Homo-oligomer: A and B are copies of this chain.
Amino acid sequence: MPTILIVDDEEDIRELISVTLMRREDYKLIEATDGLSALAIAREERPDVILLDLMLPAMDGLTVFRNLREDARTKAIPVIMLTARGRLEEKLTGLELGADDYMAKPFSPKELTLRVRNLLRRTNRNAHSSVIVSGPFSLDKNSLKLLLDGDAIDLTSTEFKLLLSMIESPGITQERGDLLKKVWGYSDLIQTRTLDTHIKRLREKLGPYGNSIETVRGSGYRFLEE
């Protein structure tokens, strides 16, 4: 579920945006009423999109934006700037600074929704959507890496495939034959200890989290659901 940070000092605007977005999509919304708290929240929460009003008390929106772009933690977060209609110079300054989008109030609720959605899609299109996260596990199909609680774990090619096969269907028991087919390409019921050997090796490498892989006696194995 994407997280959206709404930065506006006017409560009715925040309310309007909040209602608009929640009516049409399933987002987690966070609100900030001033620049400083917006920056703190952005750094802490790493929202997927920021809706940033330019007319803020104390620290104005453009300054907030500059700060966002200067901080490695927040520089990649897409930002939609909001402000009063007709302020072309302001608009251009925002775009000059690298804003992802710009909308003038009052905006069409549907347009806002669509722009947020498209921005999320565009961002996800370029992101490592190949990463599967489950509890402390983070499995990246692009880099063929496993991170466990943030620590890299060396897996062999077969181990990676096996873990991937299991983590893709958490909570689902996979028959031994299915796993043998998926990972090794065995198409018939054959008698082999290969799967068990690799399960053991995998469990060893996973240390305490090795018990995330559960044995279903008489059937196969199952990756613990989060």
Contacts and interface: CB of A to CB of B under 8 A. Distances in A.
Contacts of A143: 171-173, 222, 225
A108 B88 CA distance: 9
Copies in the complex: 2
B92 A144 contact: no
Interface residues of A, number: 38
Contact of A157 (B101, B140, B218, B225): B218
B92 A108 contact: yes
A140 B145 CA distance: 29
Given A123-B126, A157-B217, A219-B157, A95 B78 contact: no
A144 B173 contact: yes
Interface of A: 76, 78, 88, 91-92, 95-96, 98-101, 108, 110-111, 114-115, 118, 121-123, 125-126, 140, 142-145, 156-157, 171-173, 216-219, 222, 225
The 5 lowest CB-CB distance pairs between A and B, nearest first, are A157-B218, A95-B114, A144-B173, A142-B172, A143-B171
